[in-house]
Every structure is written in structure tokens, then in C-alpha cells.
Amino acid sequence: MDPTFIPPREMLQPSDLQGNPLYPSGKVIHRRFWRGQTIDVVDEEGGMRSLYFMSRLIQSRMDLSDPIRLVLPYSRHMMASLIFLQNKDTPRVLMIGLGGGSLVRFILHHLPGCRLDVVEVDDGMEVLTRSFFGLPDHPGLKIHVADGAIFLQTMTGVHYDLILVDAFDHQGMARTVYARQFFMAAKKWLIPTGIIAINLTKSDSMVYNSSVKILKTLFPVGFLRLPVRGSRNEIFLCFPETAPRTDWTQAEKQAKTWEQETAMEFGQFLQDMRRFSSPFWSRGINF
């Protein structure tokens, strides 16, 4: 696919049924259709390139002048999981959902020795992401075209230091992923000191409430919540029951280190986790 592809004139600024532009501050540079949904790549003001589902749900955004920087707040909050990552040299990471590849670019840049498996149900998303969002070639990166739930239930012999769950479609959170069977399988393939970071949205209240209940049951002694400021998204960090116990001192040191390396607000993430998590977590954390 040619990344300089120019759509027909009527696609450059599509309108809704009332004739209002769908993207007032940008123009479509690529459009494709998958399972009845429209997927648009839009160049916007300020040098931003974004990926939209059904012309209304933003899935990813990239700063063309700084592709490694995480622009969307929820993606930065997902990386709060790095505070608790013990193996920073050669971690095994699993990501459910590729999208525009923001988290992939960030992880491969800051954890160059990692082995990263990405599961994406849309068989055309990898090509789109490579063409328009600079998905890098990396010896540790492998893209799997599959439903995330089926992938976890059928895989064998691999255990992960970190599992990132960010599986959205035009309806919101993917139903097959945000379900008990999936979370049970994810826990099974996590190492004892591992972390699962899960992006939830309160905009889909039924799936949100169901997922929170499931996570509380599966991770009764290892559960942190991190609301995304100014958003209806919330990140949940879950740890296995067998994880060793420690206090906040080490986490604060790691947050400071990551903040210096990435210029992201890791210290604020840690403060918010302490504020919004249960009283158990005010005394200690598991990692």
C-alpha cells in the first residue's frame, strides 16, 4: 500500500447526513471497510495523524514529528504498568489489539530487548499501520491475526511478563475479549510476578461493570485502578495472587526513573493509583 495514496475528492472531507464535516480539523488520507465498519486515517491540525472507527471513535493518534510520544491519555496511562515490570531487559509482552500501533512503537523503543506478540483480529490492520503509522520492523515483534480470546485459549508453552488488553471495535470493548474466559486464560499465561494492564471505558457500562466484577474475583489480592483524567476510560492493573509483597518505596523509585526516561507523568499515575484503589493498596502493592 502506498502511504502517499490520495483518496477521491469526496473522501477528503466526508460529511454526515446533515452535511456537517466529520473531521472539521482534518482530512481523510485513507479509508477502508472491515466487517461493516468504516476505518479512516485522518491527518489533523497540529501535525497529528489519527485512526477512527465509524467516523466517531478515535482509536489511535500519532504526532508525525515525534512518533514515539504517546498522544492519547489512555495510552500513557496503560504504560503505568511499566512501574511494576521486573524484567526490563528481555521481557515477554503480549498485546491484544494493534490499532495504530502507538503502544507497539513506544514499547519497542523503550524496551528494545523485549519479545512482543501482538494479536489483532483485523487482517488488514498490520498493513495499514505499517503504511500510515510507521509500525517498525523489529526482530522481537510478531503480529498474530486472530481473535484475542481464541488466541489465548489455544496457545501453549508461553508465559508473559506483561499483558496489555486494548481491544476495541466500532461497538466499544470487544465482547469476546472482555469476558471471564479471556481473563482466566490471560491469568494462566502470566508469570508469577507479571502484570495485566486492561483498558476499560465507562461509556459501555454493561461490559465495564461485568469486567470489573470478573477482575475482582480473579485477582482478589492484586488489583489497582487508574482512572484516565478527563476521560471515561479507566486502566486496571492486575497481579497474580502468588506475587511477593512489597511497599510503595520501590514503585516510587521506578516511577521516577520512567518519568525521567519518557517525560511522562509516572509520578502522577502512582499517586492516582493510591488514591483510587482499595485500602489494601494503601499499605502495600503486589509485584
Catalytic residues: 166
| C-beta neighbour count of 215 within 10 angstroms | 23
Calculate helix-pair angle for 205-218, 180-188, nearest 10 degrees: 40
- Which amino acid is residue 231, in one-letter code? S
Quote the DSSP letter at residue 54. Answer: T
Angle at 121 between CA 203 and CA 179, to 5 degrees: 50
Residue 266 contacts residue 251 (beta carbons within 8 Å): no
Residue 114 grid coordinates: 523485549
Residue 47 contacts residue 28 (beta carbons within 8 Å): no
Q: What is the CA radius of gyration of the chain?
A: 19
**Phi and psi angles of residue 31, each rounded to the nearest 5 degrees, phi first:** -135, 135
